[in-house]
Amino acid sequence: TEARQALADWNALTSADPAAQYTANLRLYNAADALHADASRAGGSPAIEDLYDSLVSVQSIIDREGADYNTTAERYNATVSAFPANVIGAVWGAGQAEQFGN
């Protein structure tokens, strides 16, 4: 039930907010991880293990790229908060970059 709801919520996500995307993805990952644990206790199968390995690999990529994005966003935020970038940014409507989860 949790996996089905997490998938539905992830598919319905319309926000471009990186933190909201990360949170929805992490919820879906955790639900799939719990399903894998249940399937493994029930005997599992090679196909399920292959799918789970792919899931873990993709989640690792998301976590690594998210960390890289956050580092870049922090540098950007430091730059745009200093003079003269803060004045120019205010005129152009540029703001702080959102963080991608934690």
Per-residue pLDDT of 9-62, as tens digits, reads: 989 988 778 888 889 999 999 999 999 999 999 998 899 899 999 999 999 999
- Tell whether the model's pLDDT for residue 68 goes beyond 90: yes
- Return the residue matching tokens 């580092």: 71
Q: What is the pTM of this model?
A: 0.74
- Return the residue matching tokens 């998301």: 62
Identity at 33, one-letter amino acid code: D
Q: 17 Cβ partners below 8 Å, 6+ apart?
A: 98
Distances (CA, A) of 63 to 25, 48, 70: 10, 22, 10
